[in-house]
A = this chain, B = another copy of it.
Amino acid sequence: MSEPDFPPRDPGPRPGGHRQARALATRSAILAAAAEEFATASYHEASLSRILERSKVTKGALYFHFVSKESIACAVVDEMEMLCRAMVDRCRGLGLDPLRTATQVVREMQDALDGPVLRAGQRLCSDGFTGPDRSGWPFRFWQEVFTALFVEAAAARLLVPRVEPASLARTVVDVSGGAFIASLAVSELSDLAQRVCENWELLLGAVADPAWLEGFRAEGGMGAVLGPHLGRGGWVAEA
């Protein structure tokens, strides 16, 4: 029960380092295949045999690392969490003001949606299959990230005075999660970048200080931030 996942339990002739590296490579191959599968199918539709096929690992190797479809899905959500945390750290490291940092997070989200991990994790959490703790994670995480950024923005007088940072962050969480499911349902995500662009133009127009807004618009606004994601027909066309 308390035995850790690594090193793998099967003893072999190789030194521990090699065994561990091989096990990690197998686990990564399974997770990459699972992310592809959950990105293109709902949890309900996703199939373990297709994950096996994509990953080119044996059934035995898969069950060595994961006990069930649910445990694979949870590991994909863990991957998404690492990816999102790294994304926020990177955006904060750019030295931009808090509102521009927020728009950069939005850009990096679109970049990450070109890969399967974020698409898969977001679908899995929107489906709510893992219970409130895990499925609620992205909503709580982004609520915290955007509240912190908007508190800093308010302190720097980049927001108009009547805006409440936590409330604005909730609206950002709602409009972002909703854009994903609406775009998935009506266009298989091909109109997502356009929706995100229009949503942020509208929100920033409502809450940002007029002087900040003038500068941001002079740089090209959300259109410039999202750049290559706009007007190219989304990730489906790239596949």
Contact = CB atoms under 8 A, between A and B. Distances in A.
Contacts of A143: 186
Given A42-B129, A44-B129, A129-B44, A199 B185 contact: no
Contacts of A123: 128
Interface stretch (A89-97, A113-121, A164-172): A164-172
Q: Number of contact residues on A: which range applies?
A: 35 or more
A174 B168 CA distance: 15
A168 B199 CA distance: 8
Interface in A14-42: 42
Interface in A46-69: none
Given A170-B195, A178-B175, A202-B207, A185 B42 contact: no
A2 to B, nearest CB: 28
A127 B45 CA distance: 11
A150 interface: no
Contacts of A44: 43-44, 127, 129
A36 to B, nearest CB: 17
Contact of A199 (B174, B179, B182): B174
Contacts of A129: 42, 44-45
B174 A195 contact: yes
Task: Count this chain's copies in the assembly.
Answer: 2
A133 to B, nearest CB: 10
| Most B C-beta atoms less than 10 A away, residue of A181, A184, A203 | A181
Contacts of A195: 170-171, 174
A184 B140 contact: no
Contacts of A177: 177-178, 181-182
A104 interface: no
Contact of A202 (B171, B176, B186): B171
A235 interface: no
A129 to B, nearest CB: 6
Contacts of A84: none
Contacts of A140: 186
| Most B C-beta atoms less than 10 A away, residue of A132, A182, A186, A202 | A182
B175 A174 contact: yes
Contacts of A161: none
26 contacts: A43-B44, A44-B44, A44-B127, A44-B129, A45-B129, A123-B128, A125-B185, A126-B126, A127-B128, A128-B181, A135-B185, A139-B182, A167-B198, A170-B195, A171-B195, A171-B199, A173-B182, A174-B182, A175-B178, A177-B181, A177-B182, A178-B179, A178-B180, A178-B181, A202-B203, A203-B206
